[in-house]
Amino acid sequence: MRLGINTFLFTSPFTNKSTSLFPQFKKWGFETVEIPIEDPSHIDPAFVKAQLDKHGLVCGSVCACMGPDRDLRGTPQQQRTGLNYMLKLIDQMVVLDCPRLIGPEYSAVGRADAVPPNEQKQQWKTVVKNLKTLCKYAEQKGKQVCLEPLNRFETDFINTCDQALKMVRDVGSSALKLHLDTFHMNIEEKNQAAAIRKAGKLLGHFHACGSDRGTPGHDHIDWKPIAAALKGIGYKGDVVIESFTTDVKVIARAAAIWRRIEPTRNEIAVKGLKFLRRTLA
């Protein structure tokens, strides 16, 4: 397992200038960088790849940023916009030599409302259709799409590992995997370790986040069973710290971070990395 850091902890949006963070990431001991690409025009992927190489890092994952206009279960225009955005991300991933697209690729984040069962079934069919298109392209490019269940306050569509597994089965693509996150699982799963074991070989990506979105290990999550479950399924992918602070205003608002959870964001990275190394060893 490689340990990584999501750049949302330090900046939004990520641009070519944001590569100035790479030397510090390397100094702290991270192996991979997770890059949320809010708009493909924000970066020159060849430049970012050169900077990663220069500092001995790799882009382990690109995070899809699903705003209101990007929604695979939305209006026809929202579906087209969301799908075209992610197809462009896969093209950039080829240049970045990044293996996986991660996040809630199925819907706009924050869209959470009760809908009648018939409408929910139709939304499900629409997402299946769009994900088949996305995953077919990912297969052609040798990339993975890792589907992330979010908590009930951020989506009404896929909240649990079971729901995500159903979507994977319905899409039926070898490119589609699961992306589990301890913050969301802490809210939605009865047992985090059991969910990891249920995902098994389909687990393609993993976020290690504190229960309050702070430092992994400085929270109430029971991490030992989680580490045992990852080892038990033979997980060899990345384990990434994805936390948010009030220092990055736009992301803080989107993630409902209204107070300083830890003294500094550097502490989240450094202490979190130290904890994960010890726990996952």
Q: Is the pLDDT of residue 86 over 90?
A: yes
Percent of the chain with pLDDT over 70: 100
Residue 259: per-residue pLDDT? 83
Helix (H, G, I), strand (E, B) or coil at 121: helix
Token output for 59: 């882009």
Is it the case that residue 253 has pLDDT exceeding 90?
no
Residue extents of the structural domains in the chain: 2-280
Which position among 34, 38, 105, 242 bears the catalytic label? Answer: 242
Say what the pTM is. 0.95
pLDDT score recorded for residue 255: 79
Spatial distance between the Cα atoms of 22 and 1, rounded to a whole number of angstroms: 20
Q: What is the pLDDT of residue 230?
A: 98
Task: Name the band, by pLDDT with cuts 50, 70 and 90, for residue 17.
Answer: very high
pLDDT for position 222:
96
User: Does residue 129 sit in helix, strand or coil?
Assistant: helix
Say how far apart CA 13 and CA 44 lie, in whole Å: 13
Is 250 a residue whose pLDDT tops 80?
Answer: no
Between these two residues, 148 and 258, which has the higher pLDDT value?
148
Is the pLDDT at 49 greater than 80? The verdict is: yes
Q: Mean per-residue pLDDT for 57-74?
A: 97
Torsion from C-alpha of 88, 160, 182, 32, nearest 10 degrees: -20
pLDDT tens digit sequence for 192-223 = 999 999 999 999 999 999 999 999 999 999 99
pLDDT (0 to 100) of residue 4: 98
d(CA 181, CA 103): 10
User: Is residue 252 predicted with pLDDT exceeding 90?
Assistant: no
Asked whether residue 245 carries a pLDDT value surpassing 90, the answer given is: no
Instruction: Express as a percent the part of the chain with pLDDT over 90.
Output: 91
* Section 145-160 average pLDDT: 97
Distance CA 203, CA 120 (A): 25
Average pLDDT over residues 109-119: 93
Per-residue pLDDT, 73? 97
User: In the predicted model, what is the mean pLDDT of the chain?
Assistant: 96
C-beta separation of 188 from 155 below 8 A: no
Q: Is 139 a catalytic residue?
A: no
State mean pLDDT over 173-181.
98
Pairwise pLDDT comparison (35 vs 250), residue with the higher score: 35
Q: What is the CATH superfamily name and number for domain 2-280?
A: Divalent-metal-dependent TIM barrel enzymes (3.20.20.150)
Q: Report the pLDDT averaged over residues 57-83.
A: 97
Residue 254 has pLDDT above 80, yes or no: no
Asked if 142 and 93 touch (Cβ cutoff 8 Å), the reply is no
**SS3 call for 31:** coil
**Catalytic-role residue among 34, 148, 154, 189:** 148
Amino acid at the residue 242:
E
| Residue in 129, 111, 38 with CA at minimum distance from that of residue 68 | 111
Please give the Cα distance from 138 to 77 (Å, whole number): 22
Q: What angle do CA 193, 195, 196 make, to 5 degrees?
A: 65
Residue 154 bears catalytic tag: no
Confidence of residue 20 (pLDDT cuts 50, 70, 90): very high
Query: Which residue in 81, 82, 101 sits closest to 91, CA to CA?
Result: 101
Q: Is the confidence at residue 260, as pLDDT, over 90?
A: no
Rg (CA), the chain: 17
Mean pLDDT of 171-197: 98
Tokens 């995997």, located at residue: 177
Is residue 196 within 8 A of residue 230, CB to CB? The reply is yes
